[in-house]
Amino acid sequence: MTKLEFPGSALSTDQWTQVNQLATSLSHEQAIWISGYFAGLSHKARAAAIASDVAELAPPSQGNLIAAPATRLLTVLFASETGNSKALAQTLVDKAAAKGIEARLADMADYKTRGLKDEQDMLVITSTHGEGDAPQTAVGFFEFLESRKAPKLPQLRYAVLALGDSTYEKYCEAGKRVDRRLEELGAQRLADRVDCDVDYEEAAEAWIAAVVTSLAPSAQTAQSAPASAAAAQSREPAAATFDKKHPFQAAVIDNIVLTGRGSTKETRHIELSLADSGLTYQPGDALGIVPRNDPALVEAVLEKLSLPADAPLTVKQTMTSLGEALSATFEITALTPRFLDHWADITGAAELQALRAPDQKEARAAFQHSHHILDVVSRFPASGIDAAQFVAGLRPLQPRLYSISSSLAAAPDEVHLTVSTVRYMMHDLPRAGVASGYLAARTEADATIPVYIQSNDHFHLPDDDVPILMIGAGTGVAPYRAFMQEREARGASGRSWLFFGERNFRSDFLYQVEWQELVKNGVLSRLDLAFSRDAAPKTYVQDRLRRQGRDVYAWLEEGAYIYVCGDSAHMAPDVHAALTDIVAEHGSLDRDEAVAYLSALQRDRRYRLDVY
């Protein structure tokens, strides 16, 4: 290259001499390369200067939180069984938008895993299903993340909010699995993982506030708020709606026992009025029930504590009585690790203290399973304890969800439930399920029950012309009654096939007349039944599936959707195993190929589960 003109004040004389000597020694290609190199240095210097300016304006960091520049995209990824994770994720996205953060909401059930390598900032909110499993709809994401296919993620910054139930040994395990795996893949934590019990609200709100603050563009001011946030602030307040925190008092229309004389269980059909509530639902959704504890149990606990029901108590800055708090505010049945530790501290009981040892996990879990709170306060009495000391170890009483067994198209302004009443003996005392016992008792003419609708997006009906296979045992048949009412009202053309199982034909054939009428009218194309106690060997729904394997596989090949509703510990895994065998046999596939076939159905949302 030729000698260059001196640029004056842009460079010193010494700098110019060095640049000119270099320039005259470069070829044309080298000159192009060096110009790009210096342009890159310039861009990096400007970015560093901007980051420095942002850091000076940023608020102090909170704990282990790391502040983020304004240009990064945030993904809020959730996995939910009952809707809690989804609601929290939506709240997080809304709060992020109000702070000027570009954020998107993503359900693990629909998330395209190939895009994981391109993520910048990710906040994960996930519940745990059973003993450490991922939520059913998120199984595919977890399998990918924990496989060798998962990419290295050095560019990713993340944080995890884990929801769980401390009565399970593997508490919040799904969230812990995500947290561990992202770290293994080289991602950097934006904040420490937070594990939440069933009373997750306060801890979740604090986590959301902290991570949003750390990610917010630090130069953001009230005057430069984004248009979307300003618009959100200027909108009229939404009309009041009924939800988990503000349930609707639904009047009981009917509450009858479905099971016949001689049945070994009690299953109830409950009809509630939603008139004037504004609540709507789709077949497949659930109804949240806000129960009260059994008055006899409240009385027994108070007696063991030697405390009066009218003892004054403050709960979250609200004055109440101990009796009312034990009736409606606190969980007083299941023995949680929180209460076990609390009572061990209060009583100093050696047996309880021993269960706290790290190597006593199995013994602790067995003790929790075989004892309720009443049993513990009976066996290990505490003298001189007051109301506030006792409730300090309790967790809030949580709503229970039940699959809706009706369609608004068939029963306007109503919602129906199919509920198995849980009753059993423990330590020679009769026990009952908190919610099912509450529902069974609410039979008086003027009874009302606090309720709300919980959407279950992953268990809705497909288009009217799509065939469906419905598999359920016991009260797992509830959503299928809703499905058939909806399809009949809509005049749907898609074929429907129900596999239903219970104990005895004479006493436990739930909604027998309705199913027979649906078959007669052609709304229900096929009906296969399995009554396990009527013959030897016992026959279950998975056995009926295998017997009809050829036709089941044909329906799948013709585009049918599979629905499974019922027990997650036995029924759902047994049905899955039967489907695997059917696909392998009638599709001429080996086991790995059959497993892949069903996995593909799950990814395509054609294999749907609602298990508990």
Query: What is the reported pLDDT for 23?
Result: 59
User: Is the domain covering 295-391 a CATH 3.65.10.10 domain?
Assistant: no
For residues 435 and 439, give the distance between their C-alpha atoms in angstroms, rounded to a whole number.
6
For residues 501 and 272, give the distance between their C-alpha atoms in angstroms, rounded to a whole number.
26
Is-contact 451 289, C-beta < 8 A? yes
Handedness of CA 176, 370, 533, 260 (dihedral sign): negative
pLDDT bin (cut points 50, 70, 90) of residue 12 is low
Q: Is the peptide bond before 537 cis (omega within 30 degrees of 0)?
A: yes
Query: What is the reported pLDDT for 224?
Result: 40
For residues 362 and 161, give the distance between their C-alpha atoms in angstroms, rounded to a whole number.
26
Residue 33 scores a pLDDT above 90: no
- Asked if 74-220 and 458-611 have one fold, the answer is yes
Which residues, at least 6 apart from 8, have a Cβ–Cβ distance to it below 8 Å? none
Spell out the alpha helix ranges (H) of 189-292.
201-215, 227-234
Residue 18 scores a pLDDT above 70: no
What Å distances lie between residue 408 and 151, 253, 285, 564, CA to CA? 46, 15, 12, 22
Is-contact 507 493, C-beta < 8 A? no
Is-contact 71 200, C-beta < 8 A? no
Query: What is the reported pLDDT for 446?
Result: 87
Tell me the mean pLDDT in the region 97-119: 93
Residue 168 scores a pLDDT above 80: yes
Regarding pTM above 0.85, the answer is no
Query: What is the reported pLDDT for 52?
Result: 39
Q: Taking the domains of the chain in order of start, what are their residue ranges?
A: 8-57, 74-220, 295-391, 458-611
Is-contact 563 470, C-beta < 8 A? yes
Place of tokens 């004892």: 371
For residues 145 and 141, give the distance between their C-alpha atoms in angstroms, rounded to a whole number.
6
CA angle at 207 for the pair 203 and 209, rounded to the nearest 5°: 115
Q: What is the pLDDT of residues 431-452, one digit of tens each?
A: 999 999 999 999 988 899 999 9
74-220 folds as: Rossmann fold (3.40.50)
Q: What is the pLDDT of residues 53-79, one digit of tens each?
A: 333 333 334 445 544 444 689 999 999
CATH architecture under which domain 458-611 falls: 3-Layer(aba) Sandwich (3.40)
Find how far residue 300's CA is from the centre of its chain.
Answer: 34
Locate the DSSP E strands across 404-542. 414-421, 423-426, 429-432, 448-454, 468-473, 496-502, 526-531
Q: Among 3-17, 522-536, 538-552, 584-598, which is the least confidently predicted range?
A: 3-17
For residues 132 and 103, give the distance between their C-alpha atoms in angstroms, rounded to a whole number.
29
